[in-house]
Amino acid sequence: SSQNLSEEFAEAARQLKKEAPRIQFGKIDVTHQHDLRKEFHIQEFPTVKFFVDGSREDPIDCKGVRQASAFITWVKRRTGPSTVLINSTDQAEAIIHADNLAVIGFFKELHNDSVEVFCETARDVPEMPFGMTASKDVCANYGIQKNTLVVFKKGKPVHNEVLEDGRQNKLDLTRLIKTFTLDLVTEYNLETSVKIFDVPVENHILLFTPKNSETFNAIYENYQSAAVEFRGKILFVLVDTDETRNGRVFEYFRIRDIDVPAVRILNLTSDAKYKMPADEVTAENVKEFCQSYLKGKAKLHLSSEEIPEDWDKRPVKVLVGKSFNRIVF
| pLDDT, tens digit, 9 for 90 and up, residues 163-179 | 987 777 899 999 999 99
Q: Please, which pLDDT band fits residue 301 given cuts at 50, 70 and 90? A: confident
Q: What is the pTM of this model?
A: 0.83
Q: Are residues 175 and 112 in the same domain?
A: yes
Residue 159 has pLDDT above 90, yes or no: yes
61-74: average pLDDT: 90
pLDDT at 44: 82
Look up the CATH number of the domain holding residue 57. 3.40.30.10
- 317 found inside a domain: no
Q: Are residues 275 and 245 in the same domain?
A: yes
pLDDT in tens, 228-251: 999 999 999 999 999 999 988 988
DSSP-assigned letters across all residues of 34-91: HHHHHHTT--SSS--EE--TT--SSPEE--S--SHHHHHHHHHHHHS-SSEEP-SHHH
Q: How far apart, in whole angstroms, are the C-alpha atoms of residue 208 and residue 120?
A: 37
User: Of the residues 127, 161, 179, which one is the last residue of a structural domain?
Assistant: 179
Mean pLDDT score, 33-55: 89
Same domain assignment for residues 17 and 109: no
Average pLDDT over residues 220-227: 97
Q: Which domain, by its residues, includes 208?
A: 183-295
For residue 71, give the nearest of 22, 6, 18 by alpha carbon: 6
How many domains, in total, are found in the chain? 3
- Residue 305 confidence (pLDDT): 60
Q: Do 189 and 290 share a domain, yes or no?
A: yes
